[in-house]
Amino acid sequence: MDNNMKKSHVLFLLLVQVIFLLPLLCLSDDFVSSRATYYGSPDCKANPRGACGYGEFGRDINNGEVTGVSSRLWNNGAGCGACYQVRCKIPPHCSEEGVYVVATDYGEGDGTDFIFSPKAYGRMARPGTEAQLYSFGVVNVEYQRVPCRYGGYNLVYKVHEKSYNPHYLAVLILYVGGVNDILAVEVWQEDCKEWVRMRRVFGAVHDLQNPPRGTLSLRFLVYGSAGINWVESPNALPADWTAGATYNSNILLT
């Protein structure tokens, strides 16, 4: 790697610390006070056109108990897939445990950090008090970031449906285990012996025009309890990768 490339990586990491670390202080064990609401949906599920780019997957993940989050939690897409425990603060109507939700969209209004799917919003209620909780529309809540639980999956990505081998590659980050955010994705270019940054298109989608040919290795800039680190997935995509295919990185994030 030449000096200019090294300098660009150093500057990028410094920029990451300025832009990303302050919003990510919600990794604390303390609960944070906020407000939450829900959006109308005929089937009580999320919007398939959510800002994270999950499509139908974003409606069904975590049994449909998902949320849109405010700009500071969405964090330019790095907050997509983050998991939260949220509980409302109206004792006669709100359960003690609240609801475990996954961030799949961007959305805010009326001082809220969360816009739940109707199903997720109702899960904050004590049994038999769901109707009363819905009638409030907006409620005071407290929340904390919690580890994501994906049943054996850890860091999993999908080749976006709009990808076209070998001319255009877009990768959608589906699962990120633990309490971790993906800040950037790079592809190894063997002929130049360097990592090439993918562009964050929106949400959890990263792309690259004219990607390297052959088997592809990826690396991910991860922020979590261990700080900021690059983690590599050698041979992450086969040479014949296809749009819509899903791959497990076998990277263990805690």
The helix (H) or strand (E) run that includes residue 146 is: strand 138-146
Count of beta carbons in the 10 Å neighbourhood of residue 40? 6
Q: Which residue has the higher pLDDT, 15 or 94?
A: 94
138 vs 136: CA distance, rounded Å: 6
Could you tell me what percent of the chain has a pLDDT over 90? 76
Per-residue confidence band for 245, with pLDDT thresholds at 50, 70 and 90 = very high
**Residue 117 Cα to chain centre, angstroms:** 16
Q: Which residue has the higher pLDDT, 84 or 4?
A: 84
Per-residue confidence band for 20, with pLDDT thresholds at 50, 70 and 90 = very low
Summarised one tens digit per residue, pLDDT across range 42-80 is 777 777 789 999 999 998 999 999 999 999 999 999 999
The pLDDT, as a whole number, for residue 53 is 95
Decide if 178 contacts 145 (C-beta within 8 A).
no
